[in-house]
Structure formats: C-alpha cells, structure tokens
Amino acid sequence: MRIRIVDAFTDRPFSGNPAGVLLLEGGAFPAAERLQEIAAEVNLSETAFAHPLPPGGAADWALRWFTPVAEVDMCGHATLATAHVLHTTGLATGPVRFTARCGILSATAHPDGSLTLDFPTAPLSEEPVPYGLADALGADPVSVHATGEHIGDLLVELRDEATVRALAPDFAALAAHSRRGVIATAAAEDPARGYDYVSRGFFPGVGIDEDPVTGSAHTALAPFWSARLGRDDLTGLQASARSGLVRTALRGERTLLTGAAVTVIDGELLTTF
C-alpha cells in the first residue's frame, strides 16, 4: 500500500505541515489500534486514512486522522494533504466530500494548485484566564476563549506578534489547561507583509508539543479575527519553525481554509492490516 508524505499549507517542500496520507482499498477502516500503530510509526502531527464510499451518498470518502498517540476529531492540514493526493493522482477531478468525526467536510481544487477546505466554524466563548496558564505559556493573556467540542483548544490572545513569536512554553504544565492544546495569537505587526494575524499551536494533550501549521485552529482564528478586524477574508501566518500561510474566509457557520500542498515522499507500506 502506498504511503505519501505531503507538506500542507505551503508550496515549497520542507515547509508547512507534513502529513502522512494512506488511501485504503475497500469500504471499511481496519482496527483503530492498527491505524494508531501506523501513525506512531509515521510520527508526524497527523496521519490521514481514507477509503472510498459508494456513489450517491453524502460523501465520497471516509476520513480519519491520528496523531502519534491519539485519534482526533478534526484536522485541517491532513485533510488538505489527502485532497491534494486525490487530485494529483487523478482519483478526484472536482470537489471532494469527506465524512469524518466532525461531520461532512469538502475540498475544492483551483487551477493554481491550491485547495479550499470547507470546515465548521468553531463556536467561541470567552472565559476567565485559568490559574497558572500565564506561567505555563510564558506570557500574560489578553483574553481566553474556548473553541468547542471538535477542537477542544483554548484560544489565547496575546499582546503582540513579538510575544507570540518568542513563546517557549512549559509543555507539561500547558497540557493541564485544555483537552487538545493552546492556540496563541496576536494581530500582525505589519499587515503589509502579507498576513493579518499570527499564531502558534501547542498540543501536548495529543502528543504534539508544537504543530507547524494547524488548519483546524483557523476555524477558531477566523471568527476571532474577523470580529476584530471587520473583514471576513483574512490571511493567517502560523509562525512555527517551518511556518505556513492559511487564507481564511468566514461564512457564518462554515469557515473556508485555502492553501497549497506538495508531495515530498511517495513510498510503500510493507505491512498488512
């Protein structure tokens, strides 16, 4: 079975967020324990597994995502990577619909090679700053918001871009503050650089200290910054070491995430399910 490594939310190899992609034959997933073992072996933020569904239904493919230690409800970059593989291999020519834990998702390819994902918008609710969060993160929050059941993060607004870039969290302490992790964000210091806001994503709760570019986090970042900046179409920079851009478009209960992807490894999984 072929396994691919795809860098998502970038048009250059060795940047953005790498995801494993396995397109399975047949109409069912193997045991979750086996999928988890493969994801642990791949050892990237997420590995996506997808299998085709019968024609005429609400979705074309079933999709699941695993970190090295857990299955997750929602993952943007590995969905983008999966859609990229489907289109570059000719298995899809138009919009692709996926059924996943978080509902029906879709991906649409554009002539320039970029793809747009249609994801549910995260419901934000402001909360008091939890005791110990500032020490764990290494910065004083301006505001804190919960992001709903499918993401399960805390969205933490910080004073400025420089503060976000300089973070060096205590990951063990940070893991106690949310189910999945913490999204730290601030407005761009200079929007003329091509992005409106900056973020970093720390997810020690699912085995990822820092994620390079987190598509799902932008379903929370989009409504947060659209409300503050007064525009529905924005660009976010995730300022990890690998870095990546996510174009966000808030459409009510749905958020569109647009980015590019590039396949960097195409190999064979030498094991059976």
Q: Mean pLDDT over residues 31-49, rounded?
A: 97
Residue 92 CA to residue 60 CA, distance in Å, equals 10
Q: State the pLDDT at residue 230.
A: 98
Angle at 124 between CA 119 and CA 127, to 5 degrees: 155
Question: 68-95, pLDDT tens digit by residue?
Answer: 999 999 999 999 999 999 999 999 999 9
pLDDT per position as a tens digit, 95-105: 999 999 999 99
DSSP string, 63-101: EEEE-SS-EES--HHHHHHHHHHHHHTTS-SS-EEEEET
Confidence label for 27 from pLDDT (cuts 50, 70 and 90): confident
Q: Which residues are part of the catalytic machinery?
A: 46
Going by pLDDT thresholds of 50, 70 and 90, the confidence category of residue 179 is confident
* Domains parsed from the chain with CATH numbers: 1-117+257-266 (3.10.310.10), 123-251 (3.10.310.10)
Q: How far apart are CA 101 and CA 12, in angstroms?
A: 30
State residue 167's pLDDT score: 98
CA-CA distance, 91 to 19, in Å (whole number)?
19
pLDDT band at 26 (very low <50, low <70, confident <90, very high): confident
Query: Residue 104 belongs to what H/E stretch?
Result: strand 103-109
- Mean pLDDT on 220-233: 98
On the question of pLDDT at 273 being above 90, the answer is no
- β-pair partners for 200: 184
